[in-house]
Structures are given as structure tokens and as C-alpha cells.
């Protein structure tokens, strides 16, 4: 493959990572459990309960770890936005500028690392919390989308490195 083709692949991967992270950030479906008629699901910003009708409330009294997870998720999103901008700049504006490519690689990996931290802390603390309450729960689709965003961001960075080596 040609180096510009590799950058186009990296751009598509970075955009996909960004979209996946938006879904993970916005949806209140990181964990889910049900007990009889009672259903509960929660994300980074809202907690929803469903008995006969669904009621969602903002998470107000957050623990420090939850604020850290929110911050890392937002940082991951913002850094992925920068990765998309850097990749577009390298592809279409500053074609011969290596530092822009290095910035694209770095921001792509940094976005993945921020999301990795968010997902790891959330999983560890959620397991602790529900184990203490002896409740069986499942991670839901928004949690999975954040994981997919992380993997896609790392893949985009790897493709950029591979493309740079082919130049």
C-alpha cells in the first residue's frame, strides 16, 4: 500500500474511534442488571431505573473515581478530535510536514491510553461496588463501544507508524 493510502486508512480508523467514543460517552448503558420487574442501567452521566416506566436521573453525588473516569473519557474524546485534525492536515494540507504526522500518531495513542484508563478504572470500581452488594450485572453496549474506540485508536496509530515507515 502507498503511504497516502495508509494515512487514509488511519484517518478512517481515527474517525471511527471518535464516533465510537461519542457513543460510549453519551449513552447511559455502561452497566445493566435486572431483578424481577426491576431494571437498572447506568452510564457516565445518568442512572436509569425501570419498574413500570423508565426514570433517568443525573449522577450528582459522584465518587472521585467516577469523576476520574468521566475526565479520562472526555480527554480521550478530545485527543481523538485532535488526532483527526492532525491526520487531515497531514493528508491534505501539510503533506511534507513530519511533525504533523508525529502529532497524529501521538494523539491517536494518547486518546487510546486515556480511554484505557477510563475503562479499566470503571470496570475495577464497578466490580468492587456490585460484588459488595452481591448483585449480578453485565457491562452493556456503551462500555463496549468505549473499548472498541480504544482499540481503533491504537490501530490508527499503528497504521500511521506503518505508513510513516513506508515513506
Q: What is the pLDDT of residues 112-166, one digit of tens each?
A: 999 999 999 999 998 888 877 777 888 889 999 999 999 999 999 999 999 888 7
C-beta separation of 109 from 151 below 8 A: no
Q: How far apart are CA 67 and CA 159, in angstroms?
A: 32
pLDDT band at 105 (very low <50, low <70, confident <90, very high): very high
C-beta separation of 49 from 39 below 8 A: yes
Quote the cell numbers at residue 47.
Answer: 442512572
Q: CA angle, 120 as apex, 16 and 39 as ends, to 5°?
A: 85
Predicted TM-score of the model (pTM):
0.89
On the question of pLDDT at 86 being above 90, the answer is yes
CA distances from 28 to 33, 41, 141, 143, 162 (A): 13, 7, 9, 9, 36
Quote the cell numbers at residue 73.
Answer: 473519557
* Residue that the C-alpha cell 475526565 belongs to: 71
Greatest alpha-carbon span in the chain = 62
**Where do the structural domains in the chain lie, given as residue ranges?**
3-28+63-166
C-beta separation of 33 from 40 below 8 A: yes
Amino acid at each position: 500500500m502507498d503511504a497516502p493510502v495508509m494515512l487514509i486508512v488511519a484517518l478512517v480508523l481515527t474517525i471511527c474511534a471518535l464516533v465510537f467514543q461519542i457513543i460510549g460517552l453519551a449513552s447511559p448503558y455502561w452497566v445493566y442488571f435486572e431483578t424481577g420487574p426491576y431494571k437498572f442501567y447506568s452510564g457516565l452521566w445518568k442512572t436509569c431505573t425501570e419498574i413500570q416506566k423508565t426514570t433517568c436521573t443525573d449522577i450528582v453525588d459522584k465518587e472521585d473515581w467516577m469523576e476520574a473516569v468521566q475526565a479520562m473519557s472526555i480527554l480521550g474524546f478530545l485527543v481523538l478530535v485532535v488526532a483527526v485534525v492532525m491526520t487531515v492536515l497531514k493528508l491534505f494540507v501539510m503533506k511534507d510536514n513530519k511533525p504533523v504526522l508525529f502529532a497524529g500518531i501521538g494523539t491517536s495513542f494518547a486518546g487510546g491510553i486515556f480511554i484505557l484508563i477510563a475503562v479499566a478504572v470503571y470496570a475495577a470500581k464497578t466490580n468492587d461496588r456490585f460484588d459488595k452488594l452481591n448483585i449480578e450485572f453485565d457491562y452493556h453496549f456503551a462500555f463496549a463501544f468505549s473499548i472498541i474506540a480504544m482499540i481503533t485508536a491504537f490501530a490508527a496509530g499503528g497504521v500511521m507508524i506503518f505508513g510513516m515507515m513506508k515513506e
